[in-house]
Structure 1
Amino acid sequence: MYFAVIINLYSRRVVGWAVSNRMKRDLTIKTLDMAVGLRNSSKGCIHHTDRGFQYCSGDYQKRLKRHGFLLSMSGKGNCYDNSMVETFFKSLKVEVIWRQKRAIRGQAEGAIFQYINGFYNPRSWHSSLGGKSPLAFDRRDA
């Protein structure tokens, strides 16, 4: 199972995510579409990714430009560039994936949905947000 996520680095909120049995560009496009739908406006937002083939694809790049994102990609071999996303993935694996065996993809997707929308965004506190959750921080800034 493959997983893609877009995190708003300002609020630490997961704004887009998708799960697939294959790592293809449609996985990341689905994630981007969710993020754009949630955020209303992306004009001028910086979209940072690693150099994965799915993020470099022409379809993905065109979609980013159409929505007005400023593009940013990690430097070659720079493993620290996406530390926020890597930290999220580690937490997801520890809290959800490794704790329970899931027989079907649908069950895993449900558990991931519950983790993001039931815990991570509304309740997990972040020291960088003054001890607030991503949703609470977003509400304060709205």
Structure 2
Amino acid sequence: MYCCAVLDAFSRRIVGWSIDSKVDATLVVNALDRAIRNRRPPAGGIVQADHGTHFTSWVFGEKVRSSGLLPSFGSFAEGLDSAMMESFRSFMQTELLDREKWKTRVEPANAIVDYIEISHDGQRRH
């Protein structure tokens, strides 16, 4: 199971997310699409992503550009480019995923949705 999340650097909230059984361009496009619907960013906003094939895919780049946003991929081996997202993933791993033994894939998927929408964005001070 894979989770892709879009973090708004200004508010530090997760504004879009997607969960799927495989990591591909569809996973990241769905997360970005949800973020765009939720946030309605103005033209010229920047989408920071890493150099993974799903983020450098034609369909992801086309989604970014057709939404009036600008893609940014940062530098290779530059940890500060994705520090906020890595911090979120680390907290989710230690506060949620490592604390239970999951019987099905649906259980952690539901828990991740609750974590994002209630614990991380609703309760955590940003």
TM-score normalised by the chain length of structure 1: 0.85
Q: Residue 28 of structure 1: SS of its match in structure 2?
A: helix
RMSD: 1.1
Are residue 50 (structure 1) and residue 88 (structure 2) matched?
no
Q: Which amino acid aligns with 1:66?
A: S
**Corresponding position of 1:37:** 37
CA shift at 1:61, angstroms?
0.1
**Corresponding position of 1:6:** 6
Which stretches of structure 1, 4 residues or longer, exceed 4 Å deviation after superposition? none
| In 2, Cα distance between equivalents of 1:41 and 1:14 | 14
Of structures 1 and 2, the one with the larger relative CO (CA 8 A, separation 6+) is 2
**Corresponding position of 2:16:** 16
CA shift at 1:65, angstroms?
0.2
CA shift at 1:125, angstroms?
1.1
CA contact (8 A) 1:16 1:35 kept: yes
CA shift at 1:76, angstroms?
1.3
CA shift at 1:113, angstroms?
0.8
Q: Which amino acid aligns with 2:53?
A: F
CA shift at 1:42, angstroms?
4.1
TM-score normalised by the chain length of structure 2: 0.95
**Corresponding position of 1:66:** 66
Unpaired runs of at least 5, structure 2: none
CA shift at 1:41, angstroms?
3.4
Equivalent residue runs for 1:76-115 within 5 Å: 76-115=76-115
CA shift at 1:40, angstroms?
2.3
Q: How many residues align?
A: 126
Closer, same or farther in 2 for the Cα pair 1:80/1:40, shift >3 Å? Answer: closer
Q: Which amino acid aligns with 1:20?
A: D
